[in-house]
A and B are shown apart, each in its own frame.
Chain A
Amino acid sequence: MRRSAARKSGQSNSIAPITSSAADLFRSASSKASSKEMERIDNLFYSYANISSGLIDPEGIENLCSDMEVDHTDVRILMLAWKMKAEKQGYFTLEEWRRGLKALRADTVNKLKKALPELEKEVKRPSNFVDFYAYSFRYCLTEEKQKSIDIESICQLLDLVLGSHFRAQVDYFIEYLKIQNDYKVINMDQWMGFYHFCTEISFSDLSNYDPELAWPLILDNFVEWMQEKRT
């Protein structure tokens, strides 16, 4: 019954057949919390998920993006992942999907799309942004035990995450990262350091920067490079 009800809600995409294990989960989980909304959310999930893995994979995400008319490299997808607390880049689990969409109160693609501006605002709130910023770094650690991200990817990530807020700092820092030879990867400590740098240090005069404080060394070098550039 429920299955047919799910079908009736009229998804534009093809509806993938639900595997028996997923169905069991569904039935048991929703035996108590049986809102229609959750049903629709789940159905939405399955409309994008990969049959064999039971997860939404990169291809699924790309489909979702085109349905939402959002580029899959758009920062808002990252924000969505953050909202979902998704752990693995490029994949959404059912649980993560549920978490995210429930919080956004979206059970259709349209609603999801409409929820994005609100989501952006939410992320930009200072209390959330630090969390989002840290999350975005972790999200890119694809390998197990990986602790750092290569320079190339960092540059892209910086642009994505901080570009709109701190255009000048990001541009200069990216330029510096590409020139310097001391570091081939950036770790979490340096990543977070840069954010604090952007919020605390006056740019581009850098007058209140003190290398004797605990700023990561890479930022000391960056500031030195900036000052040399100026003269």
Chain B
Amino acid sequence: MSLPTKRSATATTSSSSASATANFPPMKKAKSQAVSACSPLDPSCNKNGIHHFSSAATADNDVVFDPSSMTLDDDPKLQDRSPPAAANLSRKKATPPQPAKKLVIKLVKAKPTLPANFEEDTWAKLQSAIKAIFLKQPDSCDLEKLYQAVNDLCLHKMGSNLYQRIEKECESHIYAVLQSLVGQSPDLVVFLSLVERCWQDLCDQMLMIRGIALYLDRTYVKQTPNVRSLWDMGLQLFRKHLALSPEVEHKTVTGIYAESFERPFLDCTSEFYAAEGMKYMQHSDVPDYLKHVEIRLHEEHERCLLYLDASTRKPLIATAERQLLERHISAILDKGFMMLMDGHRIADLKRMYSLFLRVNALESLRQALSSYIRRTGQGIVMDDEKDKDMVSSLLEFKASLDTIWEESFSKNEAFCNTIKDAFEHLINLRQNRPAELIAKFLDEKLRAGNKGTSEEELEGTLDKVLVLFRFIQGKDVFEAFYKKDLAKRLLLGKSASIDAEKSMISKLKTECGSQFTNKLEGMFKDIELSKEINESFKQSSQARTKLPSGIEMSVHVLTTGYWPTYPPMDVRLPHELNVYQDIFKEFYLSKYSGRRLMWQNSLGHCVLKAEFPKGKKELAVSLFQTVVLMLFNDAQKLSFQDIKDATGIEDKELRRTLQSLACGKVRVLRKVNAIQMKETVEENTSTTERVFQDRQYQVDAAIVRIMKTRKVLSHTLLITELFQQLKFPIKPADLKKRIESLIDREYLERDKNNPQIYNYLA
């Protein structure tokens, strides 16, 4: 729909086109008022169009030109001529004036006053003119005069009255026009053309009126606030009366607009965007497409504001959204979601979120997020070869997801839950390994030698790792590894900071309860207690009198239940060490009776002072290594068997010890024969196995406990109870295995009448 254009003022000269043009004498070009205003004020103004200057405006010099006292040119040629329409006094005459008559300048004493009823009379002229315009009739008054009339009224400060009168007059006509439409033509198309004609007429009429009252527009209207220009006034009146006439409005707007215009418009829009959507989806990548959609929606919105009815806005936007977005949701997600997530494209994701929000497609987005996290996470977790980076990769991944959630997904709660669920799923895809790796990761962080990590950074890392830990289902695996590593750190004095260690323990306590951390705390207590014991040992009489010289020894006394179990390893210690151990044992048992001390040789470590050809060196070595090395005090070469016999160290352990001495970076021994070595992967697998064994015992114990209480219980109920009681993940098949084992061992039996029921066998 095009805007109605304002007809230009020059249209009046080509009077043939407009039916609304009033029949006026051809309007003269409007000149500046100072020059050629024909003022009805001046009685000397004659109708022949000779203009005179009005002296009324400049009241000071009351000078009147008396044309009768002026002699006109006697030139016969001139006399024949009819006086020109726009005579200009500045036109020079051919002959100078005869001195016959005198030019008399009289000074009028009184100020010229307005004639009575000036306003009413002037207005009457204007009113009839306006009427004529609206009724498309001829008017006797020419435009110039009307123009002047307006001028005069304005100059005499009657502008506001004039405005109001004009408004009133226009209103009554507009009202009449619109009323005339009522009851006309039920056919909407015909009706619409009638309305259009009225509209066009109005435009022309208002233009004309405006032309006449131009002075008013430019002075009074401009100077007075809150007063509309005449044109706007006309429009507003039209609108007002259109609204007041419901039938007309209804037929125009609802009838025609909705059906004849709006619907096809929406259909076209729909088609257009359908095609555009397809094309763009194929050619552009997702972020560009989304930007484009955003722009388009904005455009449509603007369009509505500019020239469409407000009621169209909703269906229009909805159409655009449907075609550009709704139809392509899955394509958009398939094509671009992963790329945007991988690339951490916050702004693009934010756009996607807000656009999807508009078309209620957040659920699809959420699902895409879920599968993305699971897929990517699975890649991280299941890749054997990247095990040592798994934890840091997972931490990075989680951090990135959290940022995206905060900034692009406006902290949507459902999305937060999705992230949590997906993480829980992926971290437990691979049984036990993530738990083990997390424990190892923590071990690295808590170990001494981590220069450059501030306390705050460390705390932050611990907290983030704890978040991962929360997702793990088999927490007892983690506990076993953590305990093992903690023991090593404590015993070998490798903790970076006891505060950090304790902080970690308290975090675990908050997370899993004190039962989880009891033993760990016990380990700390043991270490501190050991320090005290060592102190008092040194002070004791036994120490001072009986200890062999040349060695310093300190002992950690560990409470069995707290620490991981270490397989007892025998070894033949050098004599001095044996003496020392005995003396300490004597001291300890004198202090704490009723206890049993068992030496854990595998845990001992020593600092040896050795003399090498190149000089003295200090070696920090394990007890076993010490024992082996001490043998070489007496011999240059020793065979494997010799060493084995002399030290009494078990085969596997001996091989490991020798390898570390002879094959490591710092070689203390030269090996003559190659020895087969095995990895200490065994250590890790045995820890895991121990956890599984432990779990089996726990299951058995739980079954017996439950059956003992209930005496008789159905299979399904037993399984349910077990799942409630057991804190680690376990498959129903494994539970069945344990039940069958217990049946075999005659703890329970199947009921003779109903094999689904178990009886407890006391």
The stretch among A34-42, A95-103, A115-123, A208-216 that forms the contact with chain B is A208-216
A187-B744, A189-B743, A212-B716 known; A217-B756 Cβ under 8 A: no
Q: Chain B residues near A192 (CB, 8 Å)? A: 750, 755
Say if the beta carbon of B733 comes within 8 Å of chain A.
yes
Within 8 A of B (CB), among A193-212: 193, 196, 211-212
A217 touches B740 (CB 8 A): yes
A189-B750, A220-B733 known; A213-B756 Cβ under 8 A: yes
Q: Chain B residues near A147 (CB, 8 Å)? A: 744
A217 touches B716 (CB 8 A): no
**Nearest opposing residue in chain A for B719, CB measure:** A212
Give the docked Cα–Cα distance between A102 and B743 (Å). 38
Q: Chain B residues near A190 (CB, 8 Å)? A: 740
**Nearest opposing residue in chain A for B745, CB measure:** A147
B736 touches A220 (CB 8 A): yes
B736 touches A193 (CB 8 A): no
Give the docked Cα–Cα distance between A190 and B740 (Å). 9
Give the docked Cα–Cα distance between A189 and B755 (Å). 10
Option from B733, B737, B744, B750 in Cβ contact (under 8 Å) with A214? B750
Give the docked Cα–Cα distance between A214 and B750 (Å). 9
Q: Chain A residues near B755 (CB, 8 Å)? A: 192-193, 196, 214
Within 8 A of A (CB), among B532-579: none
**Nearest opposing residue in chain A for B739, CB measure:** A214
Q: Chain B residues near A214 (CB, 8 Å)? A: 714-716, 750, 755-758
Q: Chain B residues near A220 (CB, 8 Å)? A: 733, 736
Q: Chain B residues near A187 (CB, 8 Å)? A: 744
Option from A189, A196, A212 in Cβ contact (under 8 Å) with B732? A212
Q: Mark B716-737, 1 if CB is under 8 A from A, else 0.
A: 1001000000000000110011
B736 touches A189 (CB 8 A): no
B737 touches A217 (CB 8 A): yes
Q: Mark A175-201, 1 if CB is under 8 A from B, else 0.
A: 000000000000101101100100000
Q: Which among A193, A214, A217 has the greatest number of chain B C-beta atoms within 10 A?
A: A214
- Residues of B in contact (CB 8 Å), total 16
**Nearest opposing residue in chain A for B734, CB measure:** A217
Q: Chain A residues near B732 (CB, 8 Å)? A: 211-212
Q: What total count of A-B pairs have CB within 8 Å?
A: 34
A213 touches B716 (CB 8 A): yes
B733 touches A217 (CB 8 A): yes
Q: Chain A residues near B743 (CB, 8 Å)? A: 189
Tell me the smallest distance from the CB of B268 to a CB of chain A, in Å.
53
Option from A196, A213, A216 in Cβ contact (under 8 Å) with B740? A216
- Residues of A in contact (CB 8 Å), total 14
Give the docked Cα–Cα distance between A212 and B757 (Å). 13
**Nearest opposing residue in chain A for B754, CB measure:** A214
Q: Chain B residues near A193 (CB, 8 Å)? A: 755
Tell me the smallest distance from the CB of B541 to a CB of chain A, in Å.
60
Q: Chain B residues near A196 (CB, 8 Å)? A: 755
Give the docked Cα–Cα distance between A192 and B753 (Å). 12
Tell me the smallest distance from the CB of A12 to a CB of chain B, in Å.
45
Q: Chain A residues near B733 (CB, 8 Å)? A: 217, 220
Tell me the smallest distance from the CB of A81 to a CB of chain B, in Å.
23
A196-B755, A214-B750, A220-B733 known; A189-B716 Cβ under 8 A: no
B715 touches A213 (CB 8 A): yes
Tell me the smallest distance from the CB of B745 to a CB of chain A, in Å.
10
Q: Chain A residues near B719 (CB, 8 Å)? A: 212
Give the docked Cα–Cα distance between A213 and B737 (Å). 13
Give the docked Cα–Cα distance between A63 and B323 (Å). 93
Give the docked Cα–Cα distance between A158 and B733 (Å). 25
Q: Which among B715, B732, B740 has the greatest number of chain A C-beta atoms within 10 A?
A: B740
Within 8 A of B (CB), among A27-61: none
Give the docked Cα–Cα distance between A193 and B736 (Å). 14
Give the docked Cα–Cα distance between A220 and B756 (Å). 14
Within 8 A of B (CB), among A211-231: 211-214, 216-217, 220
Tell me the smallest distance from the CB of A23 to a CB of chain B, in Å.
43
**Nearest opposing residue in chain B for A148, CB measure:** B744
Within 8 A of A (CB), among B340-372: none
Tell me the smallest distance from the CB of B461 to a CB of chain A, in Å.
43
Tell me the smallest distance from the CB of A164 to a CB of chain B, in Å.
24
Q: Mark A135-167, 1 if CB is under 8 A from B, else 0.
A: 000000000000100000000000000000000
**Nearest opposing residue in chain A for B736, CB measure:** A217
**Nearest opposing residue in chain A for B746, CB measure:** A147
**Nearest opposing residue in chain A for B718, CB measure:** A214
Q: Chain B residues near A217 (CB, 8 Å)? A: 733, 736-737, 740
A214-B715, A217-B733 known; A189-B740 Cβ under 8 A: yes
Q: Chain B residues near A216 (CB, 8 Å)? A: 736, 740
Give the docked Cα–Cα distance between A88 and B732 (Å). 38
Give the docked Cα–Cα distance between A193 and B732 (Å). 18
Tell me the smallest distance from the CB of A135 to a CB of chain B, in Å.
15
Give the docked Cα–Cα distance between A220 and B732 (Å). 11
Q: Which among A147, A213, A220 has the greatest number of chain B C-beta atoms within 10 A?
A: A213
Tell me the smallest distance from the CB of B737 to a CB of chain A, in Å.
6
**Nearest opposing residue in chain B for A216, CB measure:** B740
A213-B716, A213-B756, A214-B750 known; A189-B744 Cβ under 8 A: yes
Within 8 A of A (CB), among B684-741: 714-716, 719, 732-733, 736-737, 740
Tell me the smallest distance from the CB of A76 to a CB of chain B, in Å.
27
Give the docked Cα–Cα distance between A203 and B325 (Å). 53
Give the docked Cα–Cα distance between A154 and B442 (Å). 53
**Nearest opposing residue in chain A for B733, CB measure:** A217
Give the docked Cα–Cα distance between A211 and B736 (Å). 10
Give the docked Cα–Cα distance between A95 and B234 (Å). 130
Tell me the smallest distance from the CB of A185 to a CB of chain B, in Å.
11
Tell me the smallest distance from the CB of A209 to a CB of chain B, in Å.
13
**Nearest opposing residue in chain A for B715, CB measure:** A214
Q: Chain A residues near B737 (CB, 8 Å)? A: 217
Give the docked Cα–Cα distance between A204 and B740 (Å). 26
Give the docked Cα–Cα distance between A193 and B740 (Å). 12
Give the docked Cα–Cα distance between A211 and B716 (Å). 11
Tell me the smallest distance from the CB of A188 to a CB of chain B, in Å.
9
Q: Chain A residues near B716 (CB, 8 Å)? A: 212-214
Give the docked Cα–Cα distance between A192 and B757 (Å). 14
Within 8 A of A (CB), among B131-145: none
Q: Chain A residues near B715 (CB, 8 Å)? A: 213-214
Tell me the smallest distance from the CB of B69 to a CB of chain A, in Å.
129
Q: Chain B residues near A189 (CB, 8 Å)? A: 740, 743-744, 750
Q: Chain B residues near A212 (CB, 8 Å)? A: 716, 719, 732
Q: Chain B residues near A211 (CB, 8 Å)? A: 732
Tell me the smallest distance from the CB of B720 to a CB of chain A, in Å.
10
Tell me the smallest distance from the CB of A141 to a CB of chain B, in Å.
14
Q: Which among B719, B736, B756, B758 has the greatest number of chain A C-beta atoms within 10 A?
A: B736
Give the docked Cα–Cα distance between A109 and B750 (Å). 41
Give the docked Cα–Cα distance between A190 and B732 (Å). 18
Give the docked Cα–Cα distance between A179 and B736 (Å). 21
**Nearest opposing residue in chain A for B749, CB measure:** A189
Tell me the smallest distance from the CB of A7 to a CB of chain B, in Å.
49
Give the docked Cα–Cα distance between A220 and B733 (Å). 9
Give the docked Cα–Cα distance between A217 and B733 (Å). 7
Within 8 A of B (CB), among A90-114: none
Q: Chain A residues near B744 (CB, 8 Å)? A: 147, 187, 189
Q: A192-B755, A213-B715, A220-B736 are known; give 10 further A-B pairs, CB within 8 A.
A: A187-B744, A190-B740, A193-B755, A213-B756, A214-B714, A214-B750, A214-B756, A214-B757, A216-B736, A217-B737
The list of the 8 closest CB pairs from A to B, nearest first, reads: A214-B715, A217-B736, A214-B756, A189-B743, A217-B737, A213-B756, A196-B755, A187-B744
Query: What are 23 of the A-B contact pairs (CB < 8 Å)?
Result: A147-B744, A187-B744, A189-B740, A189-B743, A189-B744, A190-B740, A192-B750, A192-B755, A196-B755, A211-B732, A212-B719, A213-B715, A213-B756, A214-B715, A214-B716, A214-B755, A214-B756, A214-B758, A216-B736, A216-B740, A217-B736, A217-B740, A220-B736
A interface with B by C-beta (< 8 Å): 147, 187, 189-190, 192-193, 196, 211-214, 216-217, 220
